[in-house]
C-alpha cells in the first residue's frame, strides 16, 4: 500500500513595509528576506550571518545598541513605552531597559511585528533614535502590551518585581528570603548578571534551613558551583549541625549519599555519624514529628519492628542500604555501642557478625587491622570541632587496648596546630571510664598509619590543610609518642579537624 503524500505547503503573500515578497510559511525566520536585509542594514549586522540565526543575531545587536546608550543615561522617568502583563499584574517598562532581557526583547519584537504594518521601519526608527540620541524621533506612540506566562511556584510577585527592578538599577537589593524567586525570575527573563549574583548569594547563605532548596535549585539550573558548595557545606555540618536540627529531615537522599561517600566528611566518630543517619531515617518515617528525637526514642522505634528480619532487609529499608554501606561499622568499637546495634535489629545479621569477627581478630593480633584494605574508605575517623573560645581542645580515644589523645592548640589569633599522641592508661588525668571495661595493651610500640586534615570556611571558600599519610611507631615517651603536627594559618573559624588512622599489620 502506497503512502499518500500530503499537500505541499502553498506559497503565501505577506506585506513587509512597502515590499510584497513571496515566502514559504514554514520558514524558520518569521519575516521575508528583504525585511531581514533592511533590518540588518539598520543594525549593521552581516546579512549572511543573520540568515543563519536571525532572531538571536538581531536581538543581540539591538541589545548592544540599547545597553550602550544606557551607560550614558540616567534612570528613565518619562512615560513608559511597554506594558508587561505577568502574574496577574501590569508592569510599565521602557524600551532601553526592556532590551536588557532577551526574553522581553523577543516578546517586544513579536508584538511589534504583529501590531504594525511596517515593523522594520518602526524598528529602524526606534534604533535611529537611540543611536542619534534624538528625542524628536521618540514621538508619542501607543504603548505596546506584551504578556509573559509564568507557572513556576517559586516566582512571587515580589521576586519578579525585584528582577524587573534590576533592569533599572546597577545593583538591586535582594532579600535572602526572596533569592530563590529572584533566581528563577532571572532565569526566565535571561538576566545572566542577576542570576549569577543570586547564585553567589546562595553559596554564601547556606544554613540548615536553606541547604535543601539551594541544592535543588543548583540541580534544576545545572549550576555546578552551587551544588558543589552545598555538598562541601554538608560534608562539614551534617553531624555537628544538621544532626541536632529538624532540618535534617529535608536533606535529599541523593545529596546525603554523595556526602556520606566523601573522604572529606567530618564526624566526631563513627557512632556519632550512625546516630545522625538513624535520626534522618526516623524523621523520614515519622512526618508528624517536629523536633529532633533523642537517641533513646530512635532506638525504641526501630526496636518495635518485627524481629523476623532486620530493618534493612525489609521493604521499607532496602532502598536505604546504599546509605549504610557508606558507614565504617568496624570503626564502632565500644562494647556498649555494639550492643545497641544488635539490640535494635536494624542491620542484617551478616553485617554484625563481620564487624564482631574483625574486632576479635584485631584483638588477637595485638591491634593489627588485617580487615582494612583501603585507607581512603576504611580508615577509622575521629574529629575535633575547634571553636573560637578554645585555646586547647582534645578528646581521648581507645582502640584495642591502645589509648590516644587527639588535640588542637591555638597559638595566636590565626595560628593553630593539630596532632595525636599515645598515652598510658595510668597517666594522670586519664578518664577512668575509658579503660575500665575495655582491654589494655602492654605493647611498647604500636605501628600507626595516619592522616590529619583541617578545613575552615573563609570568605565563602573552603580552605583545606592536611598532612601526608604517615606511618609511624608510637611509643610511650617523646618524641615517639607524638605524631607529626598539622600547622594551620587561617582567619577561619570554626576549624573542622579530622584524624584518620589504621593499625597496619606489624
Q: Tell me the DSSP string of 333-374.
A: --HHHHHHHHHTT-S-HHHHHHHHHHHHHHHHTTT--TT---
Question: How are beta strands 89-93 and 446-458 bridged, if at all?
Answer: unpaired
Pairing mode of beta strands 82-86, 144-147: parallel
User: Could you tell me where the DSSP H helices lie in 238-332?
Assistant: 253-261, 270-285, 295-303, 315-318, 321-324
Which of 125-134, 248-257, 334-343 holds the top average pLDDT?
248-257
- Is residue 418 within 8 Å of 394, Cβ to Cβ? no
Nearest Cα to Cα of residue 379 among 212, 505, 506, 500: 500
Is residue 104 within 8 A of residue 98, CB to CB? The reply is yes
For the cut 80, the answer to whether the pLDDT of residue 7 exceeds it is: no
Contacts (Cβ under 8 Å, ≥6 apart) of 78: 94
- At 37 the pLDDT is 53
Residue 323 β-bridge partners: none
CA 201 – CA 460 distance, rounded (Å): 10
pLDDT band at 421 (very low <50, low <70, confident <90, very high): very high
The lowest-confidence range among 1-5, 103-107, 159-163, 263-267 is 1-5
**CATH T-level topology, domain 380-502:** Immunoglobulin-like (2.60.40)
Residue 72 pLDDT class (50, 70, 90 cuts): very low
The torsion angle over the Cα atoms of residues 206, 210, 212 and 215, rounded to 10 degrees, is -50
Helix (H, G, I), strand (E, B) or coil at 468: coil
Band of pLDDT at residue 434, cut at 50, 70 and 90: low
Tell me what pLDDT residue 399 has: 94
Q: Give kind and range of the element (H or E) at residue 69.
A: helix 54-70
Q: pLDDT value at position 116?
A: 57
Which uninterrupted H or E stretch holds 185? helix 179-189
Give yes or no for a contact between 368 and 442, defined as CB atoms under 8 angstroms apart: no
pLDDT in tens, 310-356: 999 999 999 999 999 999 999 999 989 999 999 999 999 999 999 99
pLDDT of 468 reads: 97
pLDDT of residue 42: 57
CB contact at 8 A, 283 and 244 = no
* Beta bridge partners of residue 410, listed in sequence order: 416
* pLDDT at 29 exceeding the cut of 50: no
Q: Which of 94-98, 414-418, 446-450 has the lowest mean pLDDT?
A: 94-98
pTM of the model: 0.82
pLDDT for the residue numbered 161: 95
pLDDT value of residue 425: 80
Closest CA to 81 of 125, 131, 18, 41: 125
Among 11-15, 114-118, 442-446, 486-490, top mean pLDDT goes to 486-490
What is the Cα–Cα distance from 287 to 486, expressed in whole angstroms? 44
Name the residue with cell 541523593. Answer: 254
Q: What is the mean pLDDT of the chain?
A: 84
Give me the residue spans of the domains in the chain.
Answer: 51-63+80-128+141-149, 267-365, 380-502
On the question of pLDDT at 67 being above 80, the answer is: no
The whole-number pLDDT of residue 363 equals 94
Contact 417, 409 (CB under 8 A): yes
464 or 110, which is more confident:
464
Is 404 in contact with 385 (CB distance < 8 Å)?
no
Q: Do 292 and 258 contact (CB within 8 A), yes or no?
A: no
pLDDT tens per residue, range 205-238? 999 999 999 999 999 999 999 999 999 999 999 9
Shortest CA distance to 498 belongs to which of 383, 328, 389, 403? 383
**Residue 60 CA from chain centroid, whole number:** 32
Query: DSSP class of residue 239?
Result: T
3-state SS of 46-65 is CHHHHHHCHHHHHHHHHHHH
Per-residue cell: 264: 572529606
Which residue has better confidence, 132 or 386?
386
Write the CA distances from 424 to 245, 405, 481, integer angstroms: 38, 10, 10
Report the pLDDT value the prediction gives residue 27, as an integer from 0 to 100. 39
H or E stretch covering 440:
none
Give Cα 83 to chain centroid, integer Å.
37
First to last CA, the chain: 82
The model's pLDDT over 360-415, given as tens digits with 9 standing for 90+, comes to 999 999 999 999 999 999 999 999 999 999 999 999 999 999 999 999 999 999 99
Q: Is the dihedral of CA 232, 235, 240, 242 positive or negative?
A: positive
Please count the other Cβ atoms lying within 10 Å of the Cβ belonging to residue 39.
25
Which range, of 60-69, 101-110, 148-157, 227-236, averages the lowest pLDDT? 60-69
Asked if 81 and 92 touch (Cβ cutoff 8 Å), the reply is no
* Helix or strand holding residue 44 (H, E): none
Assess contact for 163 and 191: CB atoms under 8 A. Answer: yes
What confidence tier does 54 reach under pLDDT thresholds 50, 70, 90?
A: very low
166 grid coordinates: 534590576
pLDDT at 102: 87
- Percent of the chain scored above 90 by pLDDT? 66
Q: How many whole angstroms separate alpha carbon 39 and alpha carbon 61?
A: 11
Question: What pLDDT, on the 0 to 100 scale, is given for residue 62?
Answer: 55
Amino acid at each position: 500500500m502506497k503512502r499518500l503524500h500530503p499537500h505541499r505547503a502553498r506559497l503565501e503573500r505577506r506585506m513587509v513595509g512597502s515590499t510584497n515578497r513571496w515566502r514559504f510559511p514554514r520558514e524558520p525566520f518569521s519575516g521575508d528576506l528583504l525585511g531581514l536585509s533592511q533590518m540588518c542594514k539598520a543594525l549593521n549586522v552581516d546579512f549572511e550571518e543573520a540568515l543563519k540565526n536571525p532572531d538571536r543575531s538581531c536581538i543581540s545587536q539591538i541589545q548592544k545598541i540599547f545597553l550602550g546608550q544606557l551607560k550614558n543615561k540616567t534612570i528613565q522617568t518619562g512615560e513608559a513605552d511597554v506594558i508587561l502583563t505577568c502574574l496577574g499584574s501590569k508592569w510599565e517598562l521602557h524600551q532601553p531597559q526592556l532590551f536588557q532581557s532577551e526574553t522581553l526583547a523577543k516578546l517586544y519584537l513579536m508584538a511589534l511585528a504583529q501590531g504594525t504594518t511596517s515593523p522594520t521601519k518602526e524598528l529602524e526608527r526606534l534604533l535611529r533614535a537611540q543611536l542619534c540620541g534624538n528625542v524628536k524621533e521618540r514621538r508619542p506612540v501607543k504603548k505596546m502590551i506584551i504578556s509573559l506566562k509564568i507557572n513556576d511556584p517559586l516566582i512571587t510577585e515580589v521576586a519578579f518585581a525585584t528582577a524587573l527592578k534590576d533592569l533599572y538599577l546597577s545593583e538591586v537589593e535582594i532579600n535572602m528570603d526572596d533569592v530563590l524567586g529572584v533566581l528563577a525570575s532571572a532565569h526566565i527573563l535571561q538576566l545572566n548578571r542577576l542570576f549569577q549574583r543570586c547564585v553567589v548569594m546562595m553559596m554564601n547563605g547556606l544554613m540548615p534551613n536553606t541547604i535543601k532548596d539551594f541544592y535543588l535549585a543548583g540541580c534544576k539550573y545545572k549550576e555546578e558551583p552551587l551544588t558543589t558548595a552545598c555538598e562541601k557545606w554538608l560534608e562539614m555540618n551534617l553531624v555537628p549541625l544538621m544532626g541536632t536540627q529538624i532540618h535534617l529531615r529535608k536533606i535529599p537522599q541523593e545529596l546525603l549519599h554523595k556526602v556520606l561517600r566523601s573522604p572529606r566528611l567530618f564526624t566526631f566518630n563513627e557512632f556519632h555519624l550512625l546516630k545522625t543517619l538513624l535520626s534522618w531515617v526516623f524523621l523520614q518515617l515519622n512526618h508528624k514529628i517536629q523536633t529532633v528525637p533523642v537517641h533513646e526514642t530512635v532506638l525504641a522505634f526501630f526496636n518495635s519492628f518485627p524481629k523476623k528480619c532486620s530493618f534493612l532487609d525489609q521493604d521499607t529499608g532496602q532502598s536505604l542500604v546504599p546509605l549504610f554501606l557508606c558507614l565504617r561499622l568496624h570503626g564502632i568499637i565500644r562494647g556498649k555501642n555494639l550492643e545497641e546495634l544488635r539490640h535494635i535489629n536494624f542491620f542484617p545479621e551478616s553485617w554484625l557478625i563481620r564487624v564482631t569477627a574483625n574486632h576479635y581478630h584485631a584483638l588477637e593480633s595485638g591491634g593489627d587491622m588485617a580487615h582494612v584494605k583501603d585507607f581512603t574508605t576504611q580508615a577509622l575517623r575521629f574529629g575535633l570541632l575547634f571553636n573560637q573560645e578554645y585555646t586547647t581542645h582534645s578528646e581521648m580515644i581507645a582502640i584495642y587496648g591502645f589509648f590516644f589523645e587527639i588535640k588542637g592548640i591555638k597559638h595566636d589569633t590565626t595560628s593553630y596546630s593539630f596532632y595525636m599522641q599515645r598515652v598510658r592508661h595510668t597517666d594522670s588525668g586519664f578518664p577512668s571510664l575509658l579503660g575500665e571495661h575495655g582491654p589494655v595493651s602492654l605493647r611498647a610500640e604500636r605501628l600507626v598509619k595516619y592522616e590529619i586534615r583541617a578545613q575552615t570556611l573563609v570568605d565563602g571558600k573552603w580552605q583545606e590543610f592536611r598532612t601526608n599519610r604517615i606511618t609511624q611507631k608510637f611509643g610511650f615517651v617523646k618524641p615517639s609518642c607524638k605524631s607529626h603536627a598539622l600547622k594551620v594559618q587561617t582567619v577561619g573559624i570554626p576549624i573542622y579537624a579530622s584524624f584518620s588512622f589504621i593499625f597496619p599489620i606489624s
